[in-house]
Amino acid sequence: MDSKHILKQLSARKNNQKKIKIIAKLLLTVKMLLIIIIFVIAGYFFNQYFSIKTIKQTSSVIVNINEFYKKNLVLLNLEMARKTILKKNPKIRSIALIKQYPSTLIISDIKKETAVYQLKVDNGYYILSTTGKIIDKSKKRIAKLASVNFYQQYNYDQYQVGDRLINNEIAAVISLVSVMKKNNIAINTIDIGSNDMILLHSDIELVVSTKKSINIQIEQLELMLQKIKQQGLEVKKIDLRFDKPILTF
């Protein structure tokens, strides 16, 4: 066998090896494309099948929930969704979210915020809940709610519905109003003159201070109200700012 023939065989073998490599690369590319196509199709049908098409709620009070339609129910983070819904529904205190596969989101256990009083601000009122959340704003006074006059008057546009007003005086008023309501004592107006002078006007005038523990003042108030009820006392004023409560008859 001469050298020319050997060289031809070697050249042909190399060409065959190149063709095999090219074919292998083409087959690998085709396989990858098929895998990608399969994943895209599977992802499309996965999203279509589990896309949220129905939102049910136990009472029709939740609004601004259209953004959840067409979202993937499997991938939906319930905690983040719950926070988003509550933020857009300031009059709602709490909810529970349930996934009902394949495509239904259920909003249940809906609890509304309770309006405790209205805070007088410049050109209107903030309607506050038991947690200090502004659940509404009004240009006019609401007759059925106690009105609070705060020494530091806010501007009407300073806070928005859904914001929380948290300070010692407001927190104290919320707690004390709850105690008075529990004892069937209606509060008419509340004057917060300073942190040492908070007046709750009702059949019994109540004076409190944030310089003294609010929890202690609540305990003393409950004891005083129980004593007044049991003994049938006609008390005009209870001052809780000092170590021992002062009653005025």
Domain end position, chosen among 86, 112, 138: 112
pLDDT tens digits for 167-200?
888 888 888 888 888 888 888 888 998 888 888 8
pLDDT level of residue 70 (50, 70, 90 thresholds): very high
Structure tokens given for 203: 């059949």
Domain count, the chain: 2
- pLDDT, position 124: 95
Domain contains 226: yes
Same domain, 108 and 143: no
Structure tokens given for 15: 């060409």
Place of tokens 């927190």: 171
Same domain, 213 and 242: yes
- pLDDT, position 30: 85
d(CA 209, CA 220): 13
Residue ranges in the chain assigned as alpha helix (H): 3-50, 78-88, 168-182, 214-231
Query: Angle 19-21-23 (CA atoms, 0-180°, nearest 5)?
Result: 70
Average pLDDT over residues 125-139: 91
Same domain, 236 and 127: yes
Same domain, 204 and 167: yes
Same domain, 80 and 96: yes
Q: CATH code at 55?
A: 3.10.20.310
pLDDT tens digits for 38-69?
888 887 888 888 999 999 998 878 999 999 99
Mean pLDDT of the chain: 87
Sheet order of strands, 237-239 included: 134-138, 124-129, 115-121, 146-150, 189-194, 197-201, 205-208, 237-239, 246-248
Note if the pTM is more than 0.75.
Answer: no
Structure tokens given for 1: 């066998």
Q: CATH code at 138?
A: 3.40.50
Q: Which domain holds residue 233?
A: 115-248
Same domain, 165 and 60: no
Question: How far is the CA of 18 from the CAs of 9, 29, 78, in angstroms?
Answer: 14, 16, 55
Amino acid sitting at position 26: L
pLDDT level of residue 83 (50, 70, 90 thresholds): very high
Strand partners, 128: 117, 134
d(CA 42, CA 64): 31
Same domain, 106 and 148: no
pLDDT level of residue 2 (50, 70, 90 thresholds): low
CB count in 10 Å sphere of residue 249: 7
Q: Is the pLDDT of residue 144 over 90?
A: no
| 3-class SS of residue 138 | strand
